A and B are shown apart, each in its own frame.
Chain A
Amino acid sequence: MIELTGFDKRFNPGSVNEVHALRGLDLSVAEGEFVTIIGTNGSGKSTLLNAVAGEFAPDLGRVSIAGRDVTQAQEHQRADLVARVFQNPFLGTVPGMSIAENLHLASLRGRPLRPRLGLDRARRQEFRARVQSLEMGLEDRLDNAIGSLSGGQRQALTLLMAVMNTPRVLLLDEHTAALDPKSAAQVLKLTSQFVAERGLTTLMVTHSMRQALELGNRTIMMHQGRVIEDIDQARKRRLTVEDLLDRFAELRRAEQLTDDLLEELRRAYV
């Protein structure tokens, strides 16, 4: 379903701020796979999701989604295939518009815009039913501005909006990280439910090892812009959180070593 080959991306090339965020990354995700992604800060997880979403084109390499080569397609040109939920609950919705309007806008994803009053009674009825399924009591507040809702409520709505048109790929970037534990659990539950119901191909970034292992059927670990571990369903069952933490510790040690080595070399030569 998702095919990244030799994806390479540098930010601010040629400047002091140059960051080689993705280094010839190869990744192939089959239809219906639910991949959890872990990795150190700055390892390129969000960048990988942005790459799939189309926020930027690669310097080198290709991307295809659902068999369509979208390497040069801009974000809005592949929005019919991809839906996403950001970490920041403010990013996924338009605060000044009502719940119904936000949902309607999401329902238009992948369709051409027309100057017609698409948000009719039937539509509202449909949205009402969907919002009801969130079990947050929002169905009576369809005309309230989203800006008046809590972060958890917004994130749940964003999730609902993302899966509304059944996208081919769902991207979740630490979408529960900014929520309180209770809301986080609720949004996570909804996530599992939606993904299972519709068999969505999903990439989910998380900082929780437990989530990474418990959710989905594949886990990848990223480091310095590459995939360094690819753990399938069978192995996932055997791994524990401690195993993953050990792996991180190992990485950290390796980094430290190189730092020390550098320092020694510098002392020796300068």
Chain B
Amino acid sequence: MELWVGAVVLGLLYALMTTGVYLTYRVYNFADITVDGSFTAGGAAAAALIVAGCHPALALLAALAVGAASGAATALIHTRFKINGLLSGILVMTGLYSVNLHLMGRSNIPLLQHPTLFSALDALNPGLPGAVWTALALGLALAVFWLLMAAFLKTDLGLAMRATGENPRMASANGRNVNWLIILGLALANGLVGVSGGLVAQYQGFADVTMGVGTIVVGLASVIIGESALRARSLTVQVLSVVLGSVIFRLMIALALYLGLNPIDLKLLTAVFVLLTLVLSQRMGKGRAGLPGLTRLLRPAWAWGLAAAILAGLGWWAAQPPGPQSGGQAASPVRPLIGVVQFTDNGVLDLTRQGLVQELRKLGHVDGQTCRLDLENAHGDQATLNLILDKFLKDGADLVVTISTPATQAGLKKITDRPLVFATVANPFLIQAGTSETEHRPNVTGTYGWAPMDQTLALVRRILPGPLKIGAIWDPSQANAEFNVANLRQAMAGQGDLSFHGATVAGTGEVQQATQSLLNQGVDVLVLPPDNIIYSAFDAVVSVARAGNRPVVVSDVELLSHGALAVLGYDYTSSGEQAARLVDRILRGENPRDIPFERYSRLSVGLNTKVAADLKLTLPPEVLAQATVLHPPTETAARTRPAPSPPPATAPAPAKRRLAVFLFADTPIILDALRGVQEELEQSGALRELGLEVSVRSAQGEMSLGQAIAQDLVRQRFDYIVSLSTIALQLAARFNHDIPQVFGAVTDPYLTGVAKSPDEHQPNITGVATFQPVEAVLRTAREIFPQAKRIGLAWNPGELSSEACTKKARELAPRYGFSLVEANVTSPAEVLEGVRGLLAKDIDLFFTSGDSTMLSAFDSVAKLLHQARVPYLSNSCTDVARGAFLAVGPDYYNVGRRTGALAIRLMRGESPQAVPIVDYVPETLFVNRDLAAEYKVSLPPAVVKRAANLGGGQ
């Protein structure tokens, strides 16, 4: 009962939103995505005002106002600036995210302690079950709204609005100001959406900045479902169908839950259902004129039958493993039912659940024997969370366990007449579960704890002594994250040698950039307090941090193996275990009122020795002793890969051997190298002697293609792989763990992680390392320009090989009497600015070494330098023909030959593991004589003699 009535209530609450979507989508023919933002805006405004002491009804008016303002903004952008409606909506929706955060002042406002329309409603309850009463009252209100709305659309104003949507030219010819009517219509529609948001916030007991995500889809689905259920010509029935559609949509979700369907499939199901309805009604629409009335009546029935069949099928399929309580009649009433709900799938919550279930079992509460456990997961969806709780109530759960803050927040609202035990909630006081550990809601107890940032900081200081710039990243829309960051800053307070550098993100997509920005600010270490968003994009953090050689410290043990240097956090298994003990006490008859909240106690300290070694950090013994988890598990596990299968036998096998040459792009350099490989194979006679079959694969410079090729080479079981270019090496090494592979045209294999030193490399991979001859450039520059002092160097810190060259230049420049002036560029767009910056610093020479970001703007850079008469030095010989002054670069043809020779050694039977990586830099010098003449530089005879080519710029 609770489940169905709860669904009806939700449907009615969302019906206002659905009507708004109907207005824009059907009446105005305008796919208005603003609703995602205006829904939240309504919730945010209502919650903020209620907390400020405003009457909840008045707060709803404010929700109407902000919603209407959002809609008007979209319409204004659309009509004034003639910007596509969808795009206008996206712009306003995006902007609203910030506005909503400002409105709320934080990401989540709980309303539990405040009067809402629903608490007022409850006070009027004549004695019906709560949910039924709410549903009745809402149903009545919605009925009034329905009639009002239908009437409104028939007023003069309503007529003009409908005409504007359907035939704006006619409306305009009949004296209606179409732009104004669009603004009005969108304002009205979004106003309704805002009210809906305000109501939902009051109903669920809190507003959250993410509560509007996906609103448009739900709205559209509801409109379409309603239309197919009530096929209506009359406007009055149309509006009713919209309200009904919203309720049916929620009932469908409830049904799916009831059938034990995995909520993860709900979205897919919604999409399929809406598509089906659309297609069916289209098909039917065509034959409409000729169809007799009966078929028309049957039409929706058919669609519904099909949908029900699919739903039932999916339900049956999903229900296979655990089996729903459909046969629950037989279940003995003595066995208590425990409903457990977690908000989303994440490591911490899963650990908590596992700890809970295991400990319950130890305490004698075994699912199916002494108790019934109903484990549910809302997969991050607020509405689903509410439905799951309704289901627990419907099933008559004796006790509910909520895992995570959002689940608990929803639980506090719904579960009032039976015990609620929460687990893994950072701060239960923030969500008003109680005011202290002992003074709390009578039916609620649980385990909590916020990340011990002070202890984390202490650990960081022990590993990295001395002054530190500490960087932190968080998503301000995550309430917990804000709180944890505040704790970190508090822990740092008073330590003068620490400085805090923060970067905020809105969503996982921005994490990488934020990390990079912190690295650019020169932070020494990243300390990341718990934040779901950041932790789920942790790999992005690590990839950037590793490129910049910076350690990362987090609070989640799970992340240790993902490349964190150290973790210090609670062991969430223990949170679950502690919660289980609370559950046990309640089941044995204790009153939750008398059970204080418990802070979880067990800490985990984890260290990643491999990361430490990569960062050249020595972990102090006392820190190592403190660790509860080490990664990799044993100290000697530097090499994690199993030994390769033995290399092919020397005995000439009759079968042909197949070699794949894998190139990343068809650049001149790589093609030179390819030619070298091919000629080496040919001229050494290996081709014939080994019966070798060579295939050349190029990824055409496309990363995704490269990945596909690399995977394909492994799948096809080539006998040998030669990879040319750094990226080709990285891609191949990622998938190839046993085929002997030789790389070439790679600047620094040690930065790719394939090798640590010439002898220590991935066992199946060896090759030729060709550092850019940075030193030769500096040496030659000194010969040609005896007076020059300052060399400008521009490079992208995001490029591995560029970093290697820069390091080398830093080390060697002083030796040749140069001082190095550096500029960082991170994208092609920044290149010219970077070079101008260098020129402003009076550089005598400019040098860039194979940095592909720099190369992307070669011509403009060369032109700029030419204007300033600053010679351009490079490591790529082809640059001279395009306007560089001097280049000393590797001769990639010879690199290719050397690579080929190495490959032949493997084919003759040597194990790649035993073949060390070769450092090979065949230098060639190119000088631009025309530029020399123009700049009036005389070339020393020694240089002229060494030069392989004295080219001229065009």
Contact = CB atoms under 8 A, between A and B. Distances in A.
Interface stretch (B163-171, B223-231, B295-303): B163-171
Contact of A117 (B155, B162, B170, B176): B155
B156 A115 contact: yes
Interface centre among B152, B155, B162, B174, by most A CB within 10 Å?
Answer: B174
A195 interface: no
B167 A106 contact: no
A146 to B, nearest CB: 10
A92 B172 CA distance: 10
Interface string A91-116: 11111110001001110111101111
A209 interface: no
Contacts of B152: 115
Interface in A107-142: 108-111, 113-119
B173 A84 contact: yes
A246 B230 CA distance: 62
Interface centre among B156, B175, B178, by most A CB within 10 Å?
Answer: B175
Contacts of A94: 162-163, 166-167, 170-171
A127 B171 CA distance: 19
The majority secondary structure among interface residues of chain A is loop
Contact of A116 (B156, B167, B171, B172): B156
B159 interface: yes
A113 B176 contact: yes
B160 interface: yes
B151 interface: yes
B588 interface: no
A76 B155 contact: no
A75 B157 contact: no
B166 A76 contact: no
B163 A91 contact: no
Contacts of A101: 154, 159
Interface in A52-82: 53, 74-76, 79-80
Nearest to B152: A115
Contact of B175 (A76, A86, A93, A118): A76
Given A76-B175, A79-B173, A96 B166 contact: yes
B175 A115 contact: no
A108 B166 contact: no
B233 interface: yes
A48 B160 CA distance: 27
A145 interface: yes
B647 interface: no
B177 interface: yes
Contacts of A90: 167
B177 A76 contact: yes
Contact of A97 (B163, B173, B177): B163
Contacts of B163: 94, 97, 105
B160 A117 contact: no
A84 B173 CA distance: 7
A154 to B, nearest CB: 11
A197 B171 CA distance: 26
Nearest to B181: A113
B173 A75 contact: yes
Interface centre among B159, B173, B233, by most A CB within 10 Å?
Answer: B173
Contacts of B170: 91-94
Given A76-B176, A105-B174, A97 B156 contact: no
Contact of A105 (B151, B160, B169, B233): B160
B286 to A, nearest CB: 15
Interface centre among A83, A93, A97, A161, by most B CB within 10 Å?
Answer: A97
Nearest to B26: A96
B452 interface: no
B618 to A, nearest CB: 70
Given A76-B178, A95-B167, A104 B159 contact: yes
A150 to B, nearest CB: 13
B42 to A, nearest CB: 22
Interface in B146-203: 151-152, 154-160, 162-163, 166-167, 169-178
A120 B176 CA distance: 21
Contact of B156 (A53, A92, A114): A114
Contacts of A114: 155-157
A236 to B, nearest CB: 29
On chain A, which size bracket covers the interface?
20 to 34
A115 B185 CA distance: 13
B151 A117 contact: yes
A117 B174 CA distance: 18
A79 B169 CA distance: 12
Given A94-B162, A94-B163, A96-B162, A115 B157 contact: yes
A115 B159 contact: no
Interface centre among A76, A90, A101, A161, by most B CB within 10 Å?
Answer: A76
B293 to A, nearest CB: 16
B166 A95 contact: yes
B456 to A, nearest CB: 61
A87 B233 CA distance: 28
A91 B168 CA distance: 9
Nearest to B178: A76
Contacts of B166: 94-97
A94 B158 CA distance: 13
Contacts of A161: 174
A164 B452 CA distance: 79
Contacts of A93: 167, 170
Nearest to A148: B289
A75 B167 CA distance: 15
Contacts of B167: 90-91, 93-95
Contacts of A110: 175
B160 A108 contact: yes
A97 B163 CA distance: 8
A38 to B, nearest CB: 23
Contacts of B160: 105, 108, 113
A79 B177 CA distance: 10
A108 B177 contact: no
A108 B233 CA distance: 24
Contacts of B156: 104, 108, 113-119
Contacts of B172: 75-76, 79
A115 B174 contact: no
Given A84-B173, A105-B174, A145-B233, A116 B155 contact: yes
A96 B152 CA distance: 17
Nearest to A171: B173
Contact of B173 (A53, A96, A104, A117): A53
Nearest to A97: B162
A101 B176 CA distance: 15
Contacts of B174: 79, 105-106, 108-109, 161
Contacts of A109: 174-175
B846 to A, nearest CB: 43
A86 B173 CA distance: 10
Interface centre among B151, B155, B167, B172, by most A CB within 10 Å?
Answer: B167
Nearest to A85: B173
B26 to A, nearest CB: 10
Contacts of A106: 174
Contacts of A79: 172-176
A108 B175 contact: yes
Contacts of A104: 156, 159
A51 to B, nearest CB: 14
Nearest to A111: B175
Contacts of B175: 76, 79-80, 108-111
Nearest to A93: B170
Contacts of A92: 170, 173
Q: Which 7 pairs across A and B sit closest by C-beta, in order of nearness?
A: A79-B175, A115-B157, A109-B175, A118-B156, A115-B155, A94-B163, A94-B167
Interface of B: 151-152, 154-160, 162-163, 166-167, 169-178, 233
8 contacts: A76-B178, A79-B173, A91-B170, A94-B163, A95-B167, A104-B159, A115-B157, A116-B155
Given A106-B174, A108-B160, A118-B156, 4 more contacts: A76-B176, A76-B177, A108-B156, A119-B156
